[in-house]
């Protein structure tokens, strides 16, 4: 029984831990990868049930170290999918976030890189904008007093600090485009930052869009928040 509990808990953990890297390196498709989470959660529950049976009916075979290991592995397998599902319920099912919902910054240099992406390069539309207004009302156009060239340079530095891949910079147009690759699944999300003159001030808008997936689980909004914080840190140095 001890071996069975250990084996099932390990399988449960692997079904949750491996789909991301396997998808990232092109071994699994996205649907199969997500299916792994479901089966991993079920296997985790099964491992805990088997452990309970072992504790109640074969207590003399229980070893604290192996039991704790099984509990930890099973807990990870159960909690990870549940956490993702809870997050999905708490955020709108959108994947295109912009600080300017009327005239979102457009992807130019990145457009060819998204040619085969399931999510088109064009802005998702008013329905998405309305959902964003309700979920992320704090994400709005930023105002700075620095020059356009200073802001472009700071934008490049902030993007580099965040580990983004810089794709293109057009200082005269005030456009910086970059790609952020998520660590676990290797999802590529694209970002465009636009700097425009408004009298003696500069307006900065950021747009972040996923290449795949209907819901981004709040990732794009969080990416914009992180960029704003990093940009402000760079400018304050």
Contact by Cβ (8 Å): 183, 83: no
Q: Of 40, 58, 90, which residue is a domain's last?
A: 90
* CB neighbour burial string for 196-219, b if at least 16 within 10 angstroms, e if fewer: beeeeebbbbbbbbbbebeebbbb
Find the CATH number of the domain harbouring 147. 3.30.530.50
Domain final position from 90, 125, 153? 90
Report d(CA 153, CA 15) in Å as an integer.
43
pTM here? 0.90
User: What domain range is 81 assigned to?
Assistant: 2-90
pLDDT tens across 190-211, in order? 999 999 999 999 999 999 999 9
Kindly state whether residues 103 and 179 are assigned to the same domain.
Answer: yes
Same domain, 136 and 174: yes
11-15-16 Cα angle (round to 5): 125
Residues 193 and 219 in one domain: yes
User: What confidence tens digit (pLDDT) does each residue in 79-134 have?
Assistant: 999 999 999 999 999 999 999 999 999 999 999 999 999 999 999 999 999 999 99
Nearest 5 degrees, angle CA 81-CA 82-CA 83?
Answer: 90
Domain match, 111 and 69 both: no
């Amino acid at each position: 029984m001890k071996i069975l509990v250990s084996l099932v808990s390990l399988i449960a953990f692997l079904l949750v831990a491996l789909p991301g890297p396997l998808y990232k390196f092109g071994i699994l498709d996205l649907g199969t990868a997500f299916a792994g989470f479901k089966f991993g959660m079920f296997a985790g529950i099964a491992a805990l049930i088997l452990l309970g049976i072992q504790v109640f009916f074969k207590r003399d075979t229980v070893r604290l170290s192996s039991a704790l290991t099984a509990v930890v592995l099973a807990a990870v397998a159960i909690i990870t999918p549940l956490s993702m599902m809870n997050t999905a319920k708490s955020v709108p099912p959108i994947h295109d976030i912009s600080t300017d919902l009327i005239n979102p910054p457009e992807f130019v240099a990145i457009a060819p890189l998204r040619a085969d992406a399931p999510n088109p390069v064009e802005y998702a539309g008013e329905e998405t904008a309305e959902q964003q207004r309700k979920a992320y009302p704090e994400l709005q156009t930023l105002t700075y007093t620095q020059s356009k060239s200073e802001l472009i340079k700071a934008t490049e530095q902030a993007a580099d600090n965040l580990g983004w891949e810089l794709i293109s910079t057009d200082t005269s147009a005030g456009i910086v485009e970059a790609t952020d690759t998520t660590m676990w699944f290797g999802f590529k999300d694209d970002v465009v930052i636009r700097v425009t003159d408004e009298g003696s001030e500069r307006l900065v808008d950021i747009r972040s869009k996923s290449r795949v997936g209907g819901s981004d689980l709040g990732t794009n909004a969080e990416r914009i928040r992180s960029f704003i914080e990093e940009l402000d840190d760079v400018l304050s140095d």
